[in-house]
Amino acid sequence: MSPVEEALSRAHRAEWARLVAVLTRRFGDLDIAEEAAAEAFATAVERWAADGVPPNPGAWLTTTAVRKAIDRLRRESKREDKHREALSMHDEQEPVGAIDDERLRLLFTCCHPALAMEARVALTLRMVGGLTVPEIASAFLARESAMGKRITRAKNKIKAARIPYRVPSAEDLPRRVSGVLAVLFLVFNEGYLATGPGTDPVRQELTAEAIRLTRLVRGLLPDDGEVAGLLALMLLTEARRAARVSDSGELITLHEQDRGAWDADLIAEGHRLVRERLAAGAAPGRYQILAAINAVHTSARDARDTDWSQVVALYDQLVRLDPSPIVALNRAIAVAEIDGPEVALAAVDRLALSGYHAFHATRADLLRRLGRVPESRSAYGRAIELAGNTAEIAYLTRRRDQLE
């Protein structure tokens, strides 16, 4: 990468969300903001290559984007009064510290509960993450035109229904933050357990983007325990990425992973966050508990050293917050390590999860350990039918075919 390309990509990462946020505030319109921000970067590609990188890229981009937005408003023959107003107030200075608020406002607007979850994800990746529509479409295996429509429809609803551009009030904040975190976790999981036959088993661009956005939220809301928890959970999961899929594209389970291949820096950062939350002494939410479970796993030098009773205790805590069958399934997997596969199987068999591949994969493994080969084989078969991740399918197929 040339120095100019590097400066452009750095500026894109650092400045996109701020730029869109500032423009949205100034012009009151997500469309204009997005387009002007994109045009400013397109101009930067040409101008920086010819004239060199400006001393303050952020300020250069803002000035250029504001000019682009005003040009667009002037070009449009059918201007609304609101736009004329925006033109007259464009020289207002940003107060120091307001930028963080602007980006938060943008994030809360994109993750508004009146929008469909898919629209929130797409809009957040576009407006806050700066991903292009084709990039988002390919990440979610959607057609570009369909993804474009989804984003346009969401922007239209924000405008027509007047979804407010602001940080929610203190009383609404916890619930609204959890909505933002749900969006980010969805992006992360789609990257980490990518589904679809034609994709890589792990989509690093999605996990990386989710982590980057969660870091941003953490910077904006440093006192929120669940934000820290989700970041820790992502880091501790991401740390194992390189060890999780074999060269032949097969999933390697936690038990069998080469722990030397884990990313020590990410683990250290994740552990630091988990310790910080423990020290805070506040009752942990779902992400903090999941992060703590991952901290236990990543603390063991060898799979055999895993403190399973600690893992089960944490799942007990999680079950109290979230009594869903999926949590119960994961708890049963840990229970198998302490009380044996028979006890775990009894718990698993009570769960109504027959459409979920991990339910059948867990049953298959427990039945295999109990020597119930034909039943195990058929459970593997069911899991393979339902699984969407190519690495997981390869792993399950080998396990089934190894059954004696």
Partner 1 sequence: MQYLVSVIDDKTASATAEEMTAIKAFNERLQAEGHWVFAGGLNAPSTATVIEHRDGEPIFTDGPFLESKEHLAGFWVIEAPDLDVALEIAAEGAERCNRKVEVRPFL
How many whole angstroms separate alpha carbon 340 and alpha carbon 337?
6
| 86 vs 115 by CB, closer to partner 1 | 115
Amino acid at 258: D
| 65 vs 107 by CB, closer to partner 1 | 107
According to CB under 8 A, which one of 28, 54, 168, 381 is a site residue for partner 1? 168
Q: How far is the CB of 16 from partner 1 (least distance, A)?
A: 26
Per-residue x/- track, 289-328, partner 1 (CB under 8 A) = ----------------------------------------
Structure letter (DSSP) for residue 254: G
Q: How far is the CB of 254 from partner 1 (least distance, A)?
A: 43
What residue spans of 111-224 are helical by DSSP H? 117-123, 133-139, 144-160, 173-192, 204-220
Is residue 219 close enough to count as binding partner 1 by CB under 8 A?
no
How many whole angstroms separate alpha carbon 111 and alpha carbon 109?
5
According to CB under 8 A, which one of 133, 163, 333, 383 is a site residue for partner 1? 163
Is residue 196 close enough to count as binding partner 1 by CB under 8 A?
no
First to last CA, the chain: 53
Q: How far is the CB of 226 from partner 1 (least distance, A)?
A: 22
How many whole angstroms separate alpha carbon 390 and alpha carbon 393?
5
Q: How far is the CB of 112 from partner 1 (least distance, A)?
A: 8
How many whole angstroms separate alpha carbon 58 and alpha carbon 9?
12
| Element spanning 191, H or E | helix 173-192
Is residue 174 close enough to count as binding partner 1 by CB under 8 A?
no
Tokens 């040409």, located at residue = 46
According to CB under 8 A, which one of 116, 146, 161, 280 is a site residue for partner 1? 161
| 162 vs 304 by CB, closer to partner 1 | 162
Amino acid at 329: L
State both tokens at 295: 């901290």
Nearest one of 230, 239, 245 to 290, comparing CA atoms: 230
How many whole angstroms separate alpha carbon 125 and alpha carbon 137?
11
How many whole angstroms separate alpha carbon 229 and alpha carbon 184?
12
Size of the chain in residues: 404
Half-sphere exposure of 102 (CA within 13 A, CB side): 23
Q: How far is the CB of 21 from partner 1 (least distance, A)?
A: 18
Q: How far is the CB of 76 from partner 1 (least distance, A)?
A: 20
| Neighbouring-strand partners of residue 351 | none
Per-residue x/- track, 89-128, partner 1 (CB under 8 A) = -----------------------x-x--------------
Per CB under 8 A, the segment of 75-83, 159-167, 225-233, 296-304 that binds partner 1 is 159-167
How many whole angstroms separate alpha carbon 26 and alpha carbon 24?
5
Per CB under 8 A, the segment of 17-25, 157-165, 373-381, 388-396 that binds partner 1 is 157-165
| 172 vs 342 by CB, closer to partner 1 | 172
Is residue 164 close enough to count as binding partner 1 by CB under 8 A?
yes
| 110 vs 202 by CB, closer to partner 1 | 110
Task: For the segment 22-41, give every residue that binds partner 1 (CB under 8 A).
Answer: none
Is residue 279 close enough to count as binding partner 1 by CB under 8 A?
no
Q: Are 15 and 216 in contact (CB under 8 A)?
A: no
Interface positions with partner 1 (CB under 8 A): 112, 114, 160-164, 168, 172
